[in-house]
A and B are shown apart, each in its own frame.
Chain A
Amino acid sequence: MAVKVLIPTPLRQYAQKQSSVEYNAATVGEALSHLTGAYAGLKKHLYTEDGKIRAFVNVYLNDEDIRFLQRENTQTKDGDTISIVPSIAGGLDE
């Protein structure tokens, strides 16, 4: 089942500047583990040290937040899109 994962701008630097990737995956969690397997640098930005998705990162299957589905166990089907949506703040000056 081919699913597309959209990588947001702030995280593209850890994914060789890719804006989207496609994997065969039966669940959202499986697709994300393919992603962090391919781009190890992404892992600490998506997951806490105990393996939970970080509180400032939301993951959507199509237009629905997986926190309101079955989280990482949410089943995917062919042609689905997974979006990673971190909180952003462009105005935070050093």
Chain B
Amino acid sequence: MPIPTDTLPQPETKLSKEEVLRYSRHLIMPEVGMDGQLKLRRARVLLIGTGGLGAPLGLYLAAAGVGHLGLVDFDVVDFTNLQRQVTFSTSDVGKPKIAAAKARLSGINPSIEIETFETRLTSANALELFRDFDIIVDGTDNFPTRYLVNDACVLLGKPNVYGSIFRFEGQATVFGYPGGPCYRCLYPEPPPPGLVPSCAEGGVLGVLPGIVGAIQAMETIKLILGSGEPLVGRLLLFDALGMRFRELRLRKNPACPLCGEHRTITGLIDYEEFCGIRGEEAAPVTNGIPEITAREMKARLDRGDNLFILDVREPHEFQICNLQGHLIPLGQLPQRVKELDSSREIVVHCRSGKRSAEAIMFLQQAGFRKLWNLKGGVLAWSDEVDPTMPKY
């Protein structure tokens, strides 16, 4: 099917009259100018993820006139996204992110070409996908994708604009720049699952990905223009609560297995396995942990069984919804274990069942025997027993 030619970037080395008007605030800056704007139009940038970081990235890169944007995502817009993923409208809930993002970005700038890949980025498709792009920007902010993007970028010699967020703290830098460090130089290995709080436990202030994603967008544009000092060899740390930016030196690690002197990584690997995630799925931490479903628990309570309900979430989560359990946040359990009676049958729960499983392992070591983990946590309770209970 022929593509309408008026939506494609003009092949000639001149901007159209409409483009001159649209980009006039760029064109009157000597750091961009006509040459810079043409570089932006010729640039091919691949965005992995259209979520929190991907939102400002997509919006600003489209608005700036980056001529060819690739979008990779496989997710569907849901209500919890709207607090920070400003590409999407309430009416987009339930739609594929990739379609909603494309519609929004085309609305901002119909003259750019947007290529969508509705797929999960994997070791099988990453090199092929990346090959046609100049710069890769990872907006997914999860460990398996981050190592995958890092490795693929180093193997292909492409810059990788990195950003990461947690609650009210952010990090940004550019990896994979010629002569510069890569993510493995900074962190050779990911944390084992369970040792760092996940997003659902950690939360994130909605503006934070906006700021960090905008920094990634700025670095992407600087790389395209070749102007200014790229954020290479420097890790930018942002503390939104203190409103402070700090910078740490990032060095290329001579012993880096990917980009160091004696490389041992020469191809892509299984990143889910590397990050311990697949193993966790195959052999969940519930090994040896007795589980009770929400329905079973409800039936037993209705029967009048004397179950003690222990909630190991945080007090602010308890405020959102609760099962009228006794609240001891997981982190306080060692100090407060005396509040529990080991002769009683205890159902431990959290939001989804992960923290409660940890709590049970601790309690088992402390000599408790009559323990149940509420499978799926309050989320399952909402799904199976009480649909009026809010989910978060």
Chain A residues in 8 Å Cβ range of B142:
89, 91-93
Q: Mark B176-217, 1 if CB is under 8 A from A, else 0.
A: 000000000011111100011111101010000100000000
Would you call B237 an interface residue if the criterion is a C-beta within 8 Å of the partner chain's C-beta atoms? yes
Query: What's the Cα separation between A63 and B166 when bound, in Å?
Result: 21
A13 close to B331 (CB less than 8 A): yes
Q: How many pairs of residues, A versus B, come closer than 8 Å at their CB atoms?
A: 106
A8 close to B190 (CB less than 8 A): no
Query: What's the Cα separation between A58 and B184 when bound, in Å?
Result: 12
Q: How many residues of B contact A (CB 8 A)?
A: 46
Chain A residues in 8 Å Cβ range of B53:
91
A90 close to B204 (CB less than 8 A): yes
B199 close to A91 (CB less than 8 A): yes
Q: Mark A32-50, 1 if CB is under 8 A from B, else 0.
A: 0000000001001100000
B169 close to A56 (CB less than 8 A): no
Would you call B87 an interface residue if the criterion is a C-beta within 8 Å of the partner chain's C-beta atoms? no
Q: Mark B243-254, 1 if CB is under 8 A from A, else 0.
A: 000111111010
Would you call B146 an interface residue if the criterion is a C-beta within 8 Å of the partner chain's C-beta atoms? yes
Of A19, A41, A89, A91, most B-chain CB atoms within 10 Å: A91
Q: Which residue from chain A places its CB closest to the CB of B51 in the assembled complex? A: A91
A89 close to B248 (CB less than 8 A): no
| Pick from A64, A86, A91: contact of B191, CB under 8 Å | A86
| Pick from B166, B188, B248, B352: contact of A60, CB under 8 Å | B248
Q: Which residue from chain A places its CB closest to the CB of B84 in the assembled complex? A: A90
Would you call B167 an interface residue if the criterion is a C-beta within 8 Å of the partner chain's C-beta atoms? yes
- Take A89-B141, A92-B198 as given contacts and tell me if A55 and B187 are in contact as well, using a CB distance cutoff of 8 Å: yes
| Pick from A9, A58, A60, A89: contact of B169, CB under 8 Å | A9
B164 close to A92 (CB less than 8 A): no
| Pick from A9, A58, A86, A89: contact of B146, CB under 8 Å | A89
| Pick from B189, B249, B354: contact of A64, CB under 8 Å | B249
B interface residues with partner A (beta carbon < 8 Å): 49, 51-53, 140-143, 146, 164-169, 171, 186-191, 195-200, 202, 204, 209, 235, 237, 242, 246-251, 253, 331, 334, 351-352, 354
A interface residues with partner B (beta carbon < 8 Å): 8-10, 13-14, 19, 41, 44-45, 54-56, 58, 60, 63-65, 67-68, 83, 85-94
